[in-house]
């Protein structure tokens, strides 16, 4: 469930804790949490132990913390479906017993002050990674939270962030209005635009009054611009409320839920009246993902 607003909430929560903090110890409780590294947990630990975290950066749903000390590496993370970072302040010896879903625990230290950062992930689609930072091809900053024009290797193919302030509506929507796929599938394609997941795709399409199944290349230019603006508005509003929480699977670094679920108008509302016209919201799989829309307000052209 973590999409852009949730991941950004986590990034903002992480930032003040990790900036300038040294990783004194690393415990990997589940090796597959670092599965993208050929050297496994040993490789992960060798890069991360002793390193100083320089901040928290995000592009789309990808997070990373550049490692200081003249290296060009970062501790990168993807929350997958259920990943969480949780901070415990205070001496390491007072940290709670790791939760059963805790995959990795980092013991951090800054100016003599100790705290603990846990990576939890019930469904294990998420991961932590230690990887090289490479220059962005366009020379623009790699993500929110840093002016550095670099991204981790695994983020190199990821498209621009949906809330990238330097991305204009015409330019973005031109990228989306291509191909034969349903427009919803394009919104979910992280190489075309990053940060949109199943929830906010449905919400944005409802606000823009576009049928999720409409082939991308048939979306008009004004509709494309409308969609871009809807994506921004929905995500900014969700971010302001700390994201969307249905259950305990998404919480911030302090374990608190977000409040945007009560503002959802399409996602998860099958059978309930559309907030604009009263017609029942329908639900059907598109590209294998459950999709919700108003059959009256959102017509295929």
Residues that bind DNA (CB under 7 A): 1-3, 32, 60-62, 78, 80-82, 100-101, 122-125, 154, 157, 178-181, 185, 188, 190, 197-199, 216, 285, 287-290
How many Å apart are CA 62 and CA 81, to the nearest integer?
12
Contact 259, 240 (CB under 8 A): no
Catalytic site residue from 215, 289, 295, 296: 289
Tell me if residue 41 is catalytic. no
Tell me if residue 3 is catalytic. yes
b/e map of 147-163 (b: 16 or more CB within 10 Å)?
Answer: ebebbbebbeebbbbbb
Catalytic site residue from 2, 5, 66, 152: 2
- Return the number of the residue (20 or 179) whose C-beta is nearest DNA: 179
Q: Supply the minimum distance, in Å, between the C-beta of residue 117 and DNA.
A: 21
Q: Supply the minimum distance, in Å, between the C-beta of residue 166 and DNA.
A: 21
Cα dihedral value 119, 121, 124, 126, nearest 10: -50
Catalytic site residue from 59, 61, 105, 160: 61
- Return the number of the residue (54 or 131) whose C-beta is nearest DNA: 131
Q: Supply the minimum distance, in Å, between the C-beta of residue 223 and DNA.
A: 17
- Return the number of the residue (173 or 190) whose C-beta is nearest DNA: 190
Tell me if residue 2 is catalytic. yes
Closest to 150 measured CA to CA, from 139, 161, 166: 139
Q: Supply the minimum distance, in Å, between the C-beta of residue 165 and DNA.
A: 21
- Return the number of the residue (42 or 123) whose C-beta is nearest DNA: 123
Q: Supply the minimum distance, in Å, between the C-beta of residue 101 and DNA.
A: 7
- Return the number of the residue (61 or 105) whose C-beta is nearest DNA: 61
How many Å apart are CA 202 and CA 183, to the nearest integer?
11
The residues carrying an active-site annotation are 2-3, 61, 289
């Amino acid at each position: 469930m973590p999409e852009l607003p949730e991941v950004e909430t986590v990034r903002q929560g992480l930032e003040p804790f990790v900036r300038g903090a040294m990783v004194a110890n690393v415990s990997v409780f589940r090796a597959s949490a670092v599965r993208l590294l050929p050297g496994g947990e040993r490789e992960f630990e060798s890069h991360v132990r002793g390193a100083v975290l320089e901040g928290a950066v995000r592009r789309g749903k990808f997070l990373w913390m550049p490692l200081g000390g003249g290296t060009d590496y970062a501790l990168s993370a993807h929350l997958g479906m259920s990943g969480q970072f949780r901070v415990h302040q205070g001496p390491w010896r007072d940290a709670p017993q790791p939760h059963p879903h805790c995959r990795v625990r980092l013991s951090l230290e800054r100016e003599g002050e100790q705290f603990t950062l846990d990576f939890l992930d019930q469904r294990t689609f998420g991961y932590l990674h230690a990887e090289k930072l490479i220059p962005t091809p366009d020379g623009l900053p790699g993500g929110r939270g840093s002016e550095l024009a670099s991204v981790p290797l695994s983020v190199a193919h990821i498209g621009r962030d949906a809330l990238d302030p330097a991305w204009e509506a015409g330019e973005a929507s031109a990228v989306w209005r291509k191909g034969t796929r349903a427009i919803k599938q394009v919104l979910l394609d992280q190489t075309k635009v990053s940060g949109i997941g199943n929830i906010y795709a449905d919400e944005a399409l409802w606000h823009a009054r576009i049928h999720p199944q409409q082939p991308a290349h048939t979306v008009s230019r004004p509709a494309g611009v409308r969609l871009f603006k809807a994506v921004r508005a929905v995500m900014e509003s969700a971010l302001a409320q700390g994201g969307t929480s249905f259950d305990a699977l998404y919480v911030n670094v302090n374990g608190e839920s977000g409040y945007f679920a009560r503002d959802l108008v399409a996602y998860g509302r099958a059978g309930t009246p559309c907030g604009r016209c009263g017609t029942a919201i329908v639900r059907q799989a598109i590209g294998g993902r459950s999709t919700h829309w108003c059959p009256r307000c959102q017509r295929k052209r």
